[in-house]
C-alpha cells in the first residue's frame, strides 16, 4: 500500500511539473484552449462582438455594428453632443438649444429629477441650502448674481461634466432627463418652484437661449442644425 501511494505521489509530481513548465513556456499572446467554444461564439450576430472569421453578410463591411445614417439622431440620443470641451460651459451656453418642449409635463418631470439628484446640494428652491450644501458651503444660489441668468446650455453642460466641486452627473441621467432638469433650473432662477407655472406651459414652445435663427425643431440636431427624417429608423 505504501508503494502504491509513493508511486501515485511521484506520478502526480511529474504531471504537475510538466504542466507548470508548459504554462511557463506559453507566450502571453498565445490563445489558450477553450472548453465548449460554442458557449463563447454564438450563432446570432451580436453588435458588441465581432469575430474575425465570422463576417456579417448583411451589413456593409461585414461588421455587426453599423454607423448611424448621416445627419440623423439615433433614438434616445436627442440633444446629445460630444464636440464641446468639458471645460467650455460658456461655449455650451451660447451654442446649445434645449430640444425638449417646454410643457408642464416636462417641467414636472424635471422637478422630480432635480429633487432626486440636485436638491441635496442646491436645495429644493435652488438657493444652495441643501443638506450637503449647508455642510460644505460654496453651493451657488440660482436666484442671485450671474447664476440667475445662466443659459440652459450652460446648465446642461455642467450637469454632464460637473464644475468645481460638483461631480459629473452624465452617467446618472440620460440626455432627455438632463434637458428637463436644466429647464426646471431655469424656473428656479426666476424663483418659481411650481412646475406648472411656466410662461409657455403646454404650448409646445421651446426653452432656448440660442442665437436668433437657430432651429428649435425637436427632430433637429441642436449642434449641427441638421434635421432627422422622422420616418427613418436610425437604430443600430
For the chain, give every domain's residue range.
89-197
Q: How many CB atoms lie within 10 A of CB 154?
A: 23
Q: Which pLDDT belongs to residue 76?
A: 65
Q: Which pLDDT belongs to residue 5?
A: 60
Nearest residue to 187 (alpha-carbon basis) of 129, 130, 106? 106
Whether residue 218 is predicted with pLDDT greater than 50 in this model: the reply is: no
Q: Which pLDDT belongs to residue 223?
A: 41
The phi and psi torsions of 78 (rounded to 5 degrees) equal: -60, 125
Whether residue 103 is predicted with pLDDT greater than 60 in this model: the reply is: yes
Q: Which pLDDT belongs to residue 203?
A: 34
Q: Which pLDDT belongs to residue 186?
A: 93
Q: Is the pTM of this model over 0.85?
A: no
Q: Which pLDDT belongs to residue 26?
A: 58
pLDDT band at 151 (very low <50, low <70, confident <90, very high): very high
- Extract the C-alpha cell encoding 126: 435652488
Q: Count the residues in the chain.
A: 236
Residue 116 in 3-state DSSP?
helix
pLDDT band at 4 (very low <50, low <70, confident <90, very high): low
Query: DSSP label at 165?
Result: T
Whether residue 208 is predicted with pLDDT greater than 50 in this model: the reply is: no
Residue 206 in 3-state DSSP?
strand
Whether residue 37 is predicted with pLDDT greater than 90 in this model: the reply is: no
Residue 51 in 3-state DSSP?
coil
pLDDT band at 2 (very low <50, low <70, confident <90, very high): low
The phi and psi torsions of 166 (rounded to 5 degrees) equal: -80, 125
Euclidean distance between CA atoms 151 and 182, whole angstroms: 9
Q: Which pLDDT belongs to residue 198?
A: 55
Mean pLDDT of all residues belonging to the chain? 75
Write the burial class of residue 23 (CB in 10 Å: 0-12 exposed, 13-18 middle, 19+ buried): exposed
The phi and psi torsions of 206 (rounded to 5 degrees) equal: -105, 145
- Extract the C-alpha cell encoding 215: 432651429
Please state which architecture CATH assigns to domain 89-197.
Orthogonal Bundle (1.10)
Nearest residue to 178 (alpha-carbon basis) of 78, 31, 86? 78
Amino acid at each position: 500500500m505504501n508503494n502504491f501511494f509513493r508511486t501515485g505521489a511521484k506520478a502526480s509530481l511529474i504531471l504537475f511539473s510538466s504542466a507548470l513548465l508548459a504554462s511557463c513556456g506559453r507566450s502571453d499572446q498565445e490563445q489558450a484552449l477553450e472548453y465548449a467554444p460554442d458557449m463563447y461564439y454564438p450563432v446570432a450576430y451580436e453588435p458588441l462582438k465581432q469575430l474575425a472569421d465570422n463576417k456579417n453578410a448583411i451589413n456593409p463591411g461585414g461588421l455587426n455594428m453599423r454607423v448611424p445614417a448621416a445627419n440623423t439622431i439615433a433614438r434616445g440620443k436627442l440633444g446629445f453632443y460630444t464636440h464641446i470641451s468639458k471645460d467650455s460651459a460658456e461655449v455650451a451656453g451660447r451654442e446649445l438649444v434645449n430640444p425638449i418642449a417646454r410643457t408642464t409635463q416636462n417641467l414636472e418631470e424635471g422637478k422630480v429629477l432635480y429633487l432626486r439628484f440636485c436638491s441635496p446640494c442646491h436645495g429644493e428652491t435652488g438657493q444652495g441650502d441643501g443638506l450637503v450644501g449647508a455642510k460644505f458651503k460654496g453651493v451657488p444660489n440660482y436666484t442671485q448674481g450671474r447664476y440667475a441668468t445662466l443659459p440652459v446650455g450652460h446648465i446642461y453642460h455642467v450637469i454632464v461634466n460637473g464644475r468645481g466641486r460638483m461631480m459629473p452627473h452624465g452617467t446618472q441621467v440620460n440626455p432627455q432627463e438632463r434637458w428637463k432638469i436644466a429647464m426646471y433650473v431655469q424656473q428656479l432662477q426666476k424663483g418659481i418652484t411650481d412646475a406648472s407655472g411656466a410662461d409657455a406651459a403646454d404650448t409646445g414652445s421651446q426653452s432656448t437661449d440660442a442665437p436668433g435663427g437657430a432651429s428649435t425643431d425637436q427632430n433637429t440636431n441642436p449642434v449641427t442644425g441638421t434635421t432627422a427624417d422622422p420616418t427613418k429608423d436610425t437604430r443600430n
